[in-house]
Structure 1
């Protein structure tokens, strides 16, 4: 059965209706896609339920809405990967490791004198003229 898009403008394009025999006035809204079956190598028809028309009101199916959200999130992930680059995750991990090392050094500084800390870490603690502390590598 064809969809009356004037009556139900929220229904996505290329959908069809299937009357429910036990419930007069209720219709399944679906879309058919032809895909290649990997096992047999033949084309098969796959039905995707979009929603239901019940008592003259269309409502989207929960699974269809979740699939749409999943597709949107996958597109967002791909966009972010393109923006940040492929090595962003490894760079983030490296920065996290460096941050942990810095935190460990500051904890050590609180427990031991500066001269001993310089020996252990290989860093020297000097005050610059503006009185802010700065770590410098030897």
Structure 2
């Protein structure tokens, strides 16, 4: 295995992790809400669950790359998948978040840190499915 040293960014990664953790703690402590993106986005379509905090949270997500760009260059993004594969992947992720009652941010970041058994199981399944799919795509499907 070769390490791409130009993509090795432990300081930026640690800082990003601290920001994600701080946002999750602030949302939980301030609003009593879980910082799960699928729930935050899905709540916008349900009037009784909506709220300005959801819009502010999502605007912060979309604004963060632009703010990052003020201090450093954004990394190059390379997508090595066709449109059909990206659409299929998006649909599968969406279906998975419905079956798991949440996404990787809600379960993996917030649920695991709270010791939620459901989130621990969901995160283990997310990871296993990811490992399995990478194996299939790289070794069996020739991708």
TM-score exceeds 0.5: no
Q: Which has the higher contact order (CA 8 A, sep 6+)?
A: 2
Tell me the TM-score normalised to structure 2 length. 0.26
Larger Rg: 1
Q: By percentage of residues, which structure has more helix?
A: 2
Tell me the TM-score normalised to structure 1 length. 0.27
Q: By percentage of residues, which structure has more strand?
A: 1
